[in-house]
Structure 1
């Protein structure tokens, strides 16, 4: 007996083989993009397991199983009295303080732009949108000159202050507040006698919490990975973040090849906090928008 022809839905033409190949193109592009992102991270993970002698003498993607990673971490911790962990602490300070304060400023600004009518609101929002399009590298030198006039260069505040105003975070908070904070809830709070500040803290922030977590995570990663601003602002190596500290270690490695393994190991360790933060905050992104109001 001849095989039965494939069934198709009524009114739909049979699928042609050419359409299947076209449909596979996005999947292939995603696979290539994933490989492009994973291969460098895999190389760092494997290279961190090798000693300086093995780094250039063994196959690129052949890991070492003789405890090279533990040895590299031990040597990195002992380098210049453990200055790497000082850099790690500085990065946490810059990213946590800057991320929390920038998220709070973005939340207040975005909430005001979304829920209040005042003169110049549209013009102010357009200026903030223009700030999103402005590359941060353009602002590094003007920010340095401005802070040098008030004596804040080569200090922790000189790195944190320029990163408190985040145009993209304000834009996200404005969009999120307009969608998540219902005007009826605010009117009900006003009828009950709540002031505007009480409404913001008790209603607005609760409903904006998932969006604020996203803003905090983006700002944390941006500050954690920022290189140019601390490179320009800070001259004392005890105040370096990881990005500038590893760069200085890499420059010394040009004359001492054994430091390359320490740079690679430090790069691997610098990625782990970002991964841990991303995984720990991911579960908060799917919280219902009205959870705060129900509570």
Structure 2
């Protein structure tokens, strides 16, 4: 994998993979504002798997230029004594030559994807849950930490990397023997002031006006599932989806909205002709995730 090797070496030398390293401080924008390339969400399909079952992954990278493709490196970090709760992968590369390593060797290390050349997939080992007790522990399962590193769009393999230019995000994949495994919540449509907006449409807005953004969910977006408590009792619970809102401009007044009140008020900017995008990331309490986006433009 000679194409992948230089990027991996750059990441390693820049300490992206280490758990105990931190980026240099930077001025922070509001959490909802997309003013640079950002990873807004990572979806696993399905979001909960059994040992030996494959999951596919997709990253929502917002703010990237439309005519450029991001380089994305995916890692799967095996569960540790922390149960997959930590951040970052501890990779033992002492006996590996990245320039000559085969796909199988890289997969064994934890590399599961290199977009746009190799789409990310992960299959947990059949024995991953062997150390857990039957019943509650295996029903709850373990988390496999998925790490995503999005490299700058104009970066070359020989370049020196500034950590502040790398977007790193994480996803916890649930591996369990649950009888009611989670599924990603479904979105029916995106609405503005209660009006369904078809995909590809551009919403015309006036300057300095408030608009209510919302989603209509599919009927199966909040299913019931079994939960086994510490005493072995089975409870029937129901998912409670919530939404994270993002925009390239204007002002998002409610960054998070909860079922059943999904609406978020967005104030349009004051510059005629300005255009941008809204994103709504729908999540549930067990790691399920979906998203939708629509474009907007301020009338002249």
User: TM-score, normalised on structure 2?
Assistant: 0.24
Superposition TM-score, scaled by structure 1 size? 0.24
Q: Which structure: greater strand fraction? A: 2
Compare the two structures and name the one with the higher helix fraction.
Answer: 1
